């Protein structure tokens, strides 16, 4: 053989692979060999892959009777996971729907995807840091969460808050309530397939949030309320922005409400859907606009007055229908009332300090206190136990969205898949507060 010629190539690598993977020899008595040979059938392979890919539902043996009932499928029923990543679940809510066709038979809300252990973090902080920590809970209206914590601390400390500070709290709180409700209207429309209202909502909310940024220094997580007052007095930029906005607020609200109220498709999709009757609402502990839409005129601002609300003139709108449309209309009415309150605050704003005289380090006497305020979604409460140190010994947050969302399994069955979004959205949950 000439030197420049190659020997015929016998790919040694391939030869060894072949030797290592001999063709299976099926034998009648060997069960594993039989299984292996059946995998040659592509359909069987598909089934195996799918079986390996998807865990059985639920992935554990059922633990309660309710679980067993929920996870047993009837004829023609199927499960549908809505969330945690779904365009219309307002965060990371997961609803396991049991569907028959498009009709909902049963619902199982699954929570906890956003749990951070805020209460425990608060127990490890001092009283000033708690205000900072509770901000991201109800991130749409964080002032109210601060307000509840501050109310409870002030009860512990027995502080007299200056009247100007109280008025500023009411003023900023009601502004934020308007922003929150406006956003609610937009997202409700978005969940029903309307593209435009959400952008109008954000314009409105942006104006409010910008003016609050002028007041507090932040757009969303304000960290503005303090034990015994607020952090900083009203300033020129805030007042000029507010005055500018107030000239057109009422008109803008009516215009935005008109976008939806007078839309036949919207009204037809909302009316009579997800009816929450009075007794059920009370039994579930629903608060806020959702309760008032079911005909119970319960509003903490009137029922357990705090701050300067007794001095202000406003109505508590209620409705008797209890359906999604009523829940929406209640919010529209509340925006109108809030504009009235803001107007009164501006007219009655007293002079004086915005902070009570307090020591730098807060150390309340041992004791316990419950502070609650009426947030846009209902009663936001904070229960604090003090052991005399500079931080809360126990810090418990009561979030209205959690209780409101609990009614979903009672409201949804019997409705269609499309109503899930209408009902959940009309309850206005904020997942940051629910999962804490």
- Would you tell me which residues interact with other proteins (CB under 8 A)? 3-4, 46, 49-50, 53, 78, 80, 86-88, 102, 189-196, 199-200, 203, 263, 265-266, 268-269, 416-421
Report DSSP letters for 224-284, one per residue. -EETTEESS---HHHHHHHHHHHHHHHHHHHHHHHHHHT-HHHHHHHTTSS---HHHHHHH
CB of 74 to other proteins, least distance (A): 16
Nearer to other proteins, 51 or 350 (CB): 51
Whichever of 149 and 422 has its CB closer to other proteins, that residue is: 422
Count helices and strands in the chain by DSSP H and E runs: 19, 8
Residue whose pair of structure tokens reads 């009309």 in the numeric block = 426
**Radius of gyration over alpha carbons of the chain, in Å?**
29
CB of 212 closer than 8 Å to CB of 241? no
Cβ proximity to other proteins: between 19 and 195 the closer is 195
For residues 39 and 418, which CB has a smaller minimum distance to other proteins in the complex? Answer: 418
Secondary element (H or E) of residue 198: helix 197-216
Smallest distance from the beta carbon of 212 to other proteins, in angstroms?
A: 22
Q: What are phi and psi of 331, to 5 degrees?
A: -65, -40
Q: What Cα–Cα distance (Å) separates residue 21 from each residue in 8, 10, 17, 32?
A: 24, 18, 6, 16
Residues in the chain: 436
Are 363 and 388 in contact, with CB atoms under 8 Å apart?
yes
How far apart are CB 108 and other proteins at their closest, in Å? 16
CB of 50 to other proteins, least distance (A): 5
Nearer to other proteins, 83 or 392 (CB): 83
Residues of the chain by 3-state class (helix, strand, coil), percent to 5: 50, 10, 40
Q: How far is the CB of 99 from other proteins (least distance, A)?
A: 8
In angstroms, what is the minimal distance from the CB of 150 to other proteins? 37
Q: How far is the CB of 2 from other proteins (least distance, A)?
A: 10
* Spatial contact of 142 and 220, defined as CB atoms under 8 Å apart: yes
Q: For residues 243 and 145, give the distance between their C-alpha atoms in angstroms, rounded to a whole number.
A: 26
Nearer to other proteins, 190 or 362 (CB): 190
Q: Which is nearer to other proteins, 19 or 50 (CB)?
A: 50
């Amino acid at each position: 053989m000439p030197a420049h010629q190659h020997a015929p190539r016998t790919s040694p690598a391939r030869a060894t692979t072949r030797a290592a993977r001999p063709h299976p020899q099926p034998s009648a008595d060997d069960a594993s060999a039989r299984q292996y040979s059946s995998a040659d059938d592509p359909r069987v392979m598909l089934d195996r892959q799918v079986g390996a890919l998807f865990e059985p539902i639920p992935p554990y043996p059922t633990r309660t009777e309710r679980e067993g009932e929920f996870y047993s499928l009837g004829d023609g029923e199927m499960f549908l996971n809505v969330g945690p990543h779904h365009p219309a679940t307002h965060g990371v809510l997961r609803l396991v729907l049991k569907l028959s066709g498009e009709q909902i038979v049963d619902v199982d809300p699954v929570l906890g995807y956003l749990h951070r252990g805020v209460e425990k973090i608060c127990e490890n902080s001092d009283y000033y840091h708690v205000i900072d920590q509770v901000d991201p809970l109800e991130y749409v209206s964080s002032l109210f969460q601060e307000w509840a914590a501050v109310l409870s601390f002030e009860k512990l400390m027995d502080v007299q808050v200056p009247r100007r500070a109280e008025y500023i709290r009411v003023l900023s709180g009601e502004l934020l309530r308007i922003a929150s409700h406006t956003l609610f209207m937009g997202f409700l429309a978005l969940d029903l397939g309307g593209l435009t209202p959400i952008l109008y909502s954000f314009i409105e909310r942006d104006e409010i949030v910008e003016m609050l940024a002028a007041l507090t220094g932040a757009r969303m997580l304000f960290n503005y309320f303090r034990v015994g007052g607020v952090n900083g007095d009203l300033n020129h930029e805030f007042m000029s922005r507010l005055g500018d906005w107030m000239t057109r607020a009422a008109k803008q609200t009516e215009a935005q409400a008109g976008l939806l109220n007078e839309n036949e498709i919207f009204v037809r999709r909302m009316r009579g859907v997800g009816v929450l009757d009075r007794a059920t609402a009370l039994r579930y502990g629903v608060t806020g606009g959702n309760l008032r839409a079911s005909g119970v005129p319960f509003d903490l601002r009137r029922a357990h007055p705090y701050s300067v609300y007794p001095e202000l003139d406003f109505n508590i709108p209620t409705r008797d229908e209890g359906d999604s449309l009523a829940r929406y209309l209640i919010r529209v009415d509340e925006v109108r009332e809030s504009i009235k309150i803001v107007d009164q605050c501006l007219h009655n704003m007293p002079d004086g300090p915005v902070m009570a005289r307090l020591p730098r380090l807060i150390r309340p006497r041992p004791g316990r206190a419950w502070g609650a305020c009426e947030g846009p979604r209902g009663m936001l409460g904070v229960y604090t136990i003090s052991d005399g140190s500079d931080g809360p010994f126990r810090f418990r947050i009561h979030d209205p969205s959690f209780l409101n969302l609990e009614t979903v399994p009672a409201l949804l069955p019997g409705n269609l898949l499309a109503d899930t979004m209408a009902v959940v959205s009309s309850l206005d949950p904020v997942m940051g507060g629910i999962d804490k």
